[in-house]
Structure 1
Amino acid sequence: MSEIRMPALFLGHGSPMNVLEENRYTRAWRKLGDTLPRPRAIIAVSAHWYTRGTAVTAMNDPRTIHDFGGFPQALYDTRYPAPGSPALAQEIAELLAPVAVRLDHEWGFDHGSWGVLIKMYPEADIPVVQLSVDSSKPAAWHYALGGQLATLRERGVMNIASGNVVHNLRQVRWQGGEQPWPWANSFNQFVHENFNFQGEAEAHPLINFMQHEHAKLANPTPEHYLPLLYVLGSRQPDEAVSIPVDGIEMSAISMLSVQVG
């Protein structure tokens, strides 16, 4: 058992092109991989495995999923051959009881997970299991599930969640969009201002995020926001929250990354 509590990370993953590109976001992810304690395994929570019910990958050799279209061939040729961990998958299933967790042998790593892990740990030599986001559950449930997973951080397992706290593809400025929409800035700032909320979970502004005046524009659907709650839910009372990198791309995609611990 590790004596070092692993940090928990939420990484704003943005475009799949970040896999091929080098920019301030990918440099920040690489720095995290270089400077944080090395985990024995990783739980990845991605916006792109949005399911009915909860599942965890439980195979030895998960496939690399190219769940996007219209990108250069080099992106489709890229693989992230990290091993899986059936033992960790079983441990997660037992830890989350009475939540019914399906041991999945079909999914693999979608671009929300491998697209950031390939920058943090390019050698792909750390076992990874991916946990799905149950679309049928409210925000408070996802936050509580993060709390249930927190004990694994004491056992050398790092939680790396991936999404975007502002994600509105219909409002993206694909060409020359340098200035964020005011509503995107407003919601991104709201997230910043409430990381350190210390009250009861029922009153947490980031659980009750849909009460923000711009929430529906910032998140027309919640799957890119919800992974953040797995990280915040695992936070312990003595832990600080920091921001490895932030920014809004194409006016409507937040690249905010959050580190707990």
Structure 2
Amino acid sequence: MATLNHLEQLSKSFDNSSRMPVLFLGHGSPMNAIEDNEFVREFKALGERLDQPNAIVVVSAHWETTGTLVTAMNQPRTIHDFGGFPQALYEVQYPAPGHPELANDIAKMVEPENTIALDERWGLDHGSWTVVRHLFPKANVPVIQLSLDRTKPANYHYELAQQLKKLRDKGVLVIGSGNIIHNLRRVAWDKLNENYAYDWALKASQDINNWILEGNHENLINFRKHGAEFDLSIPTPEHYLPLLYTMALQDSKDDVSLFNDQPLGGSLTMTSVQISAN
């Protein structure tokens, strides 16, 4: 009953809308925030096609916590959570407002209650603002972040995300931000800007892409059961798990497409996903 009540509360915040798409964005290097390259141009083109949402919820690879948190401040800070980059990158601010009411609704619409706690300290990390700023450069859409509970398995994240599906009908754009193939220890730095993948990364990427397009969520959730190529491609799960938050919001009649589907440096992919009502 609590869940239904808070869905009703959510409807007071936002009018019903046509069903919003869901995105997974391969965010890559923080430098994508200020560079003009093929990936950034695709993000900008996507932003021009999207209807402006009432709010944005981002699940970023760069906010891992014990327990799940949601940002609930009025004005989230721009977090420069990286080192060794040009000063121009540290000077970028993305002053989008937060939305405490939406954060509170999300915290209370998920069962069991108290699964999601409110956070007043985080903000927008680079997994969020470096890509969202290309979609909505005016920073006039409220943005909140949902953290990744590092203690939970993949199926937990998928099932939690499924409870957020109603957001799509309230004009809320949900974005997972990470990189599907992400092994920084194996990067061929001399080929970081080349369309190049190791055989194992190519195999895992092709299988995952096929499962995304086929709607095979079971294989996506059970990525640890598919062998050595996957262990090398996803040595730690934080950059992969945001994909599950995206896929969990898919309906059977949705259209699914890939863009920026390119490997870099042997062990990274920039593959992004758009799920849209047809």
Q: CA deviation at 1:97?
A: 2.7
Q: Residue by residue, what CA displacement relative to the aligned partner does 1:172-192 show, whole Å, maximum 9, x if unpaired?
A: 111234321111111111111
Q: CA deviation at 1:222?
A: 0.3
Q: Give the corresponding residue for 1:216.
A: 231
Q: Give the corresponding residue for 1:57.
A: 71
Q: Give the corresponding residue for 1:255.
A: 270
1:234 aligns with 2:234: no
Gaps of 5+ in 1: none
Q: CA deviation at 1:128?
A: 0.6
Matches within 5 A, 1:75-224: 75-99=89-113, 100-177=115-192, 178=194, 179-197=196-214, 204-213=218-227, 214-224=229-239
Structure 1 counterpart SS, 2:206: helix
1: CA distance between counterparts of 2:56 and 2:205? 27
Matches within 5 A, 1:37-56: 37-56=51-70
Q: Residue by residue, what CA displacement relative to the aligned partner does 1:193-230 show, whole Å, maximum 9, x if unpaired?
A: 1014456x6xx110011122211100110000000000
Identity %: 50
1: CA distance between counterparts of 2:68 and 2:120? 13
**Number of residues paired by the alignment?**
258
Between 51-60 and 177-186, the greater mean CA deviation after superposition = 177-186
- 1:248 maps to a residue whose letter is P
- 1:22 maps to a residue whose letter is D
Root-mean-square deviation (CA), in Å? 1.2
1: CA distance between counterparts of 2:53 and 2:179? 24
Gaps of 5+ in 2: 1-14
TM-score, length-scaled by structure 2: 0.90
